[in-house]
């Protein structure tokens, strides 16, 4: 990539000068206290080169971005058996919607909506005697962050207000697509979403999806190449919920967002990029994050299309 740092810096300054609209995710009390003006970016290439700007070393709650990591864990353990429990189609509805579960007999539309991630947490509870520890150990290994911990204050905040997620778990269980207790499954789900990383750490963590399933620098195998391809495909079509089409149209990369204001996007065989800005648009995606990635890929023409 030619003069990547200059393109990042110019795009960053362009977005900084724009109107900064949106709101932080106040429905999770701990997230409402975050400084809304923070804005960080990190890009890491398949070859391990790293480029940053802004608040790239500030930790933030990655929230639903972590669903991709639970997906990679489950796929690495049970492979295509996962699709007996859920589909891999776009939902076209909000991330926490219950609507489709009624007509589709408790089968979540895809792994990246809340319903799908809750079923994946149920599978993790089936796979491990101590699922919270096993999941944390897995994320530590993939990210290289040896001292990574769950953010217990964020998990507690979500547990206190996560009524719709409790409803999703109980509704899915009524269709017998949750095997463990709803309390155990939702506890794991809330802890999964509480994980915090910096843009630098997040870009590196997702590097395996730009490197055919092997982690950048270490070549540690995370998933099979075919599984990395399918994870990228699911991010392309489902990573931004009811704004997935908009993201594909404007950015043109597989990606995933979280209501903490983070976004990660992948150009397979090239790079992983993480952006963070806490103010969200009406779909629950980072306003500045969307603008940055749109302008960046317009400038570089580094897209999958």
Identify the pLDDT of residue 91.
81
pLDDT for res 66: 98
Report the mean per-residue pLDDT for the chain: 95
Task: Kindly report the number of other CB atoms within 10 A of residue 14's CB atom.
Answer: 14
Instruction: Report if pTM > 0.85.
Output: yes
pLDDT above 90: percentage of residues in the chain = 88
pLDDT in tens, 81-139: 999 999 999 887 667 678 788 889 999 999 999 999 999 999 999 999 999 999 999 99
Query: Which residues does residue 52 pair with via DSSP β-bridges, in sequence order?
Result: 42
Confidence of residue 171 (pLDDT cuts 50, 70, 90): very high
Q: Does residue 26 have a pLDDT over 70?
A: yes
- Percent pLDDT > 70 in the chain is 98
Which residues in the chain are classed under CATH 3.40.710.10? 4-60+197-300, 64-193
pLDDT at res. 9: 97
User: Mean per-residue pLDDT for 46-61?
Assistant: 97
How many angstroms separate the CA atoms of 289 and 292, rounded?
A: 5
**CATH of the domain spanning 64-193:** 3.40.710.10
DSSP letters along the chain, please? -TTHHHHHHHHHHHHHTS----B--TTSGGGGGS-TT--EEEEEETTS-EEEEESTTS-EE-GGGHHHHHHHHHHHHHGGGGGGT---S---S-TT--HHHHHTTT--S-TTSHHHHHHHHHHHHHH-SSHHHHHHHHHHHHH--TT----HHHHHHHHHH-HHHHHHHHHHHHTT---S-HHHHHHHHHHHHT-EE-HHHHHHHGGGGGTTTB-TTT--B-S-HHHHHHHHHHHHHHTTGGGHHHHHHHT-S-EEE-TTSEEEEEETTTEEEEEE---B-TTSSBHHHHHHHHHHHHHH--S--
pLDDT tens track for 186-215? 999 999 999 999 999 999 999 999 999 999
CATH of 4-60+197-300, one of 3.40.350.10, 3.90.1310.10, 3.40.710.10, 3.40.50.80: 3.40.710.10
Mean pLDDT of 171-179: 97
């Amino acid at each position: 990539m030619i003069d990547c740092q200059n393109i990042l810096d110019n795009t960053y300054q362009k977005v900084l000068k724009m109107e900064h609209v949106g709101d932080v995710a106040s429905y999770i009390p701990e997230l409402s206290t975050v400084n809304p003006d923070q804005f960080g970016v990190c890009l890491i290439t398949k070859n391990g080169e790293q480029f940053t700007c802004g608040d790239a070393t500030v930790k933030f709650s990655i929230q639903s971005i972590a669903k991709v990591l639970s997906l990679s864990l489950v796929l690495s353990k049970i492979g295509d058996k996962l699709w007996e429990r859920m589909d891999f189609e776009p939902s076209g509805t909000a991330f926490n919607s219950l609507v489709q579960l009624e007509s589709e007999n408790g089968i979540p539309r895809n792994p990246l909506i809340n319903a799908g991630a809750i079923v994946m947490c149920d599978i993790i509870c089936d796979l491990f005697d101590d699922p919270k520890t096993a999941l944390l150990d897995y994320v530590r290994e993939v990210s290289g962050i040896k001292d990574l911990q769950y953010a217990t204050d964020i998990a507690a905040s979500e547990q206190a207000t996560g009524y719709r997620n409790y409803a999703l778990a109980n509704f899915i269980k009524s269709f017998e697509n949750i095997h463990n207790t709803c309390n155990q499954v939702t506890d794991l789900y809330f802890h999964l979403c509480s994980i915090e990383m910096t843009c630098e750490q997040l870009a590196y963590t997702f590097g395996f999806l730009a490197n055919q399933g092997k982690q950048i620098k270490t070549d540690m195998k995370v998933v099979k190449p075919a599984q990395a391809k399918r994870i990228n495909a699911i991010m392309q079509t489902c990573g931004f919920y009811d704004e997935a089409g908009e993201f594909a149209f404007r950015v043109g990369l597989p990606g995933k967002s979280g209501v903490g204001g983070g976004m990660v996007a992948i150009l397979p065989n090239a790079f992983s990029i993480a952006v963070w800005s806490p103010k969200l648009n009406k779909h629950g995606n980072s306003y500045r994050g969307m603008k940055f990635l749109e302008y960046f890929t317009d400038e570089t023409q580094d897209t999958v299309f």
